[in-house]
Amino acid sequence: QVQLVESGGGLVQAGGSLRLSCAASGRTIMSYGMGWFRQAPGKERVFVAAISSNGGITSYADSVKGRFTISRDNAKNTVYLQMNSLKPEDTAVYLCAGDPRRSYGSSFATYYDYWGQGTQVTVSS
């Protein structure tokens, strides 16, 4: 069983930056596709970014492309999301997810077996 714990969220002004971390424990995630999703109040969970097991393939939602960067350090069993040029519409709970069956990193939430509790990101205007 894998446990995922997100950290790094907080309150930031529009145009600012945050770096989220997702630390995995219980099992190595080095073969897992990993993803970040977000969920705003009253809205569905949506895809933000994904990364392949070796970090060589990344994908992003159009809304964050060019502003967010996903990365991973398999030696530390950790995945990151660097968020720059933040906008108020980026406000949400950000969740990390792990897919043990696919190494490429999917944009489909249903493919992921493991989820963290989430970290709140609030962007003020």
- The CA–CA distances, whole Å, from 70 to 24, 25, 56 equal 15, 19, 11
For the segment 73-89, the average pLDDT, to the nearest whole number, is 98
What is the three-state SS of 41-80?
CCCCCEEEEEECCCCCCEEECCCCCCCEEEEEECCCCEEE
- pLDDT-derived band of residue 51, with 50, 70 and 90 as boundaries? very high
114 half-sphere exposure, CB direction, 13 A CA radius: 23
- The CA–CA distances, whole Å, from 23 to 19, 28, 45, 90 equal 13, 10, 20, 22
**CA Rg value for the chain:** 13
| Amino acid at position 68, single letter | F
- pLDDT-derived band of residue 116, with 50, 70 and 90 as boundaries? very high
Phi, psi of 120 (to 5 degrees): -80, 130
Q: Report the pLDDT value the prediction gives residue 55, as an integer from 0 to 100.
A: 95
Q: Report the pLDDT value the prediction gives residue 30, as an integer from 0 to 100.
A: 97
For the segment 48-68, the average pLDDT, to the nearest whole number, is 98
